[in-house]
Structure 1
Amino acid sequence: MPPAVTVPTSTASPSDGLPMGRGLLFGIAAYALWGVLPLFFLLLRPATAFEIVAWRIVLSLIFCVLLLTVTRGWPALMVIVRDRRTTLILGGAGLLILVNWLVYVYATLSGHVVEAALGYFTNPIVTVLLGVIVLRERLRPLQWVAIGVTVVAVLILALNYGQFPFIALALAFSFGFYGLVKKQVGGRVDAVSGLTIETAWLTIPATVMLVVLGASGLLTIGTESVLQTVALLFAGVVTAVPLLFFAAAARRLPLTYLGLTQYLAPILQFLIGVFVLQEAMPAARWWGFGLVWIALIILTIDMFRSQRATQSAVSKR
């Protein structure tokens, strides 16, 4: 699943001196890698979600430390660490992403990849809704329509499919609140420093999880196949590389284009769930997904209209 990532408020343009074509490739690469994560997590079985996430945290921290050393990023990190408020905010963000990671890996291992995809399809609408509830933002009419359509979709999935989409909503809201928390630090924190601090906060609970699993005889690393062990050891790289691609894309792409590329990840997750893992797709689930896709189309149209109106207003000044 898409890890700790929030869409920046930057509206970079080709005039900023950074090639948009390369930015688009970085964006596609990031979301494509996040989209195929279910296949990677399935390689890690019989490891539990707790073991996978714990190793992901510890190994991500190690990878980030090496990356900071190679790129000489320690001075920038120390500036952030000295800011107690920013460090605490990143700790809160880490807790939210911990919930998101645990739910997502559990969804993958338990055969709910399609529902997880629904969560990430729903996330942009949930983010808009949280903006109203938490930040008291005023919505445009089309945004209200998108939220209304999404509510209907959730009701259809809950009533007709016979199962409330707890996983999808847990993913959407945990990632939505993560975005709100990260918004408090704005552009002051780069991708590598942010991931380093967040995973550093989580290293203690991750270590506790590994110790408990080891004491219970449930730790699988080194006890299964060579492939499973190697895959677990690469969990940190798999976490960090797409994030770095995303950061490179965010510097080169306007917000509108970056926002559109985010749909690639849940599309790939959906396709993997339906056509590779053969998860059930009864009529009610198709209707629910269809309504969510309609809501996303409405939200995208509104995004383009809003950006066009803003650019027009600026050009008239």
Structure 2
Amino acid sequence: MSDKSLKIGVALAVAAYAMWGFAPLYFKLLMVMPAAEILVHRVVWSALLLVILVFGFKQIAKVKSALKNPKVIKVLLFSGVLLAGNWLLFIWAVNNGHLLDASLGYYINPLLNVFLGRIFLAERLRRMQKVAVIIALLGVLILLFSYGELPWIALLLASSFGIYGLLRKQVAVDSLPGLLIETMMMLPFAFLYWIFFASQMSNMFSNEVALNGLLIGAGIITTAPLLCFTGAARRIRYSTLGFFQYIGPSIMFILAVYLFGEPLHEARMVTFGFVWLALVIFSFDSYRAYRKSLKSLAV
């Protein structure tokens, strides 16, 4: 891996997680609509934007090549289902007062990435990474056994997106063509929901211009960070990618507590404390490894 490729991967990772962190502000503007309906518009307008980008960047040949590979199609179908489920749960959590749960899920995700990297990519865990994963797991178990509360929203968001990233890292297709194929696979289901189940607010001929603009803009809000993420995942180690993910949930945590006023009770604070401690250890270890990799490239 070249120094230039590593720097591009880092920049893309930072951009992706920052955009995800502020995304709840956008979806709060669409609270009048059900989560499934917002998801429909995310899929439809993302598909349109991705088609424009694929032709604009002249990557249609890569799309055709991927479509000829049955293995790639199977993986993208599965990753597309995971992505749609993650989108739906995130929108529901944001607009139903569970942004703190979403924040916790995305705090857990980088530690889960390390575990998945070890299991499926044979990436060796350093000693401090093992300690960080164990501490985070203890935080979740304390919440479960001491307070009888399973953070299911957090765990589902973390696992669905962690497995999605793992699949996209292994499939032999670039980020833009792959994301287009994933989205096009969701498109028929989105249209069926729009036609038979959507409310009057999805009738764009009767809506105000502002609401229609928000619905169309959901495509940009959806596509931009995903393109950055998949681009980063192909340029840097999967476990290292998790080092940057604290950006998104930190922004969400601040928004949830200080802007939206979600309650941060004692049980949840204990779990956050364990996960934060794990992330401090993990981040310190990742920073040392990152510095060593830069020195190795220089040599």
TM over 0.5: yes
Output the TM-score relative to the length of structure 1. Answer: 0.82
What is the alpha-carbon distance in structure 1 between the residues aligned to residue 257 and residue 173 of structure 2?
A: 37
Displacement after TM superposition at 1:304 (Å): 3.7
Residue 195 (1) aligns with residue 179 (2): yes
Q: Hey, what does 2:283 align to over in structure 1?
A: 300
From the superposition, tell whether residues 13 and 253 of structure 1 become closer, same or farther in structure 2 (CA, over 3 Å). farther
Greater shift in the superposed pair: 233-242 or 138-147: 138-147
What is the alpha-carbon distance in structure 1 between the residues aligned to residue 260 and residue 249 of structure 2?
A: 15
Residue 290 (1) aligns with residue 290 (2): no
Post-superposition Cα deviations, 1:174-224, rounded to whole Å, max 9, x if no partner, equal: 111112222321xx322211110100111122222223323xx46545466
What is the alpha-carbon distance in structure 1 between the residues aligned to residue 295 and residue 13 of structure 2?
A: 27
Displacement after TM superposition at 1:160 (Å): 4.8
Aligned length: 298
Unaligned stretches of 5+ residues in structure 2: none
Residue 233 (1) aligns with residue 233 (2): no
Q: Give 1:125-136 correspondences, 5 Å limit.
A: 125-133=111-119
Unaligned stretches of 5+ residues in structure 1: 1-10
Displacement after TM superposition at 1:25 (Å): 5.6
Residue 33 (1) aligns with residue 19 (2): yes
- Kept in 1: contact 2:17–2:248 (CA 8 A): yes
Displacement after TM superposition at 1:121 (Å): 0.6
Task: Output the aligned Cα RMSD.
Answer: 3.1
Residue 261 (1) aligns with residue 254 (2): no
Residue 62 (1) aligns with residue 48 (2): yes
* One-letter identity of the residue aligned with 2:214: A
* One-letter identity of the residue aligned with 1:276: L
Greater shift in the superposed pair: 80-89 or 273-282: 80-89
Q: Hey, what does 1:3 align to over in structure 2?
A: none
Greater shift in the superposed pair: 67-76 or 169-178: 67-76
From the superposition, tell whether residues 166 and 28 of structure 1 become closer, same or farther in structure 2 (CA, over 3 Å). same
Q: Hey, what does 2:85 align to over in structure 1?
A: 99
- Kept in 2: contact 1:60–1:237 (CA 8 A): yes
Post-superposition Cα deviations, 1:26-76, rounded to whole Å, max 9, x if no partner, equal: 544332221111111111121111111111111111111111122222122
Displacement after TM superposition at 1:167 (Å): 0.2
* One-letter identity of the residue aligned with 1:75: A
What is the alpha-carbon distance in structure 1 between the residues aligned to residue 124 and residue 42 of structure 2?
A: 38
Greater shift in the superposed pair: 126-135 or 281-290: 126-135
Match of 2:197, SS?
Answer: helix
Greater shift in the superposed pair: 46-55 or 306-315: 306-315
Q: Hey, what does 1:83 align to over in structure 2?
A: 69
Q: Give 1:131-280 correspondences, 5 Å limit.
A: 131-133=117-119, 138-160=124-146, 162-185=148-171, 188-214=172-198, 217=199, 220-222=202-204, 225-246=208-229, 259-280=242-263
* One-letter identity of the residue aligned with 1:167: I
* One-letter identity of the residue aligned with 1:234: G
Post-superposition Cα deviations, 1:82-124, rounded to whole Å, max 9, x if no partner, equal: 2221122111110111111111111111110011011011001
From the superposition, tell whether residues 245 and 92 of structure 1 become closer, same or farther in structure 2 (CA, over 3 Å). closer
Post-superposition Cα deviations, 1:120-159, rounded to whole Å, max 9, x if no partner, equal: 1100111222344556665333222112111111123334
What is the alpha-carbon distance in structure 2 between the residues aligned to residue 280 and residue 231 of structure 1?
A: 28
- Kept in 1: contact 2:243–2:286 (CA 8 A): no
Q: How much identity, in percent, do the aligned residues show?
A: 37
- Kept in 1: contact 2:46–2:218 (CA 8 A): yes
* One-letter identity of the residue aligned with 2:185: W
Q: Hey, what does 1:53 align to over in structure 2?
A: 39
What is the alpha-carbon distance in structure 2 between the residues aligned to residue 249 and residue 128 of structure 1?
A: 16
What is the alpha-carbon distance in structure 2 between the residues aligned to residue 72 and residue 153 of structure 1?
A: 47
What is the alpha-carbon distance in structure 2 between the residues aligned to residue 279 and residue 42 of structure 1?
A: 14
What is the alpha-carbon distance in structure 1 between the residues aligned to residue 82 and residue 222 of structure 2?
A: 16
* One-letter identity of the residue aligned with 1:142: M
What is the alpha-carbon distance in structure 1 between the residues aligned to residue 129 and residue 9 of structure 2?
A: 28
Displacement after TM superposition at 1:251 (Å): 8.3
Match of 1:36, SS?
Answer: helix
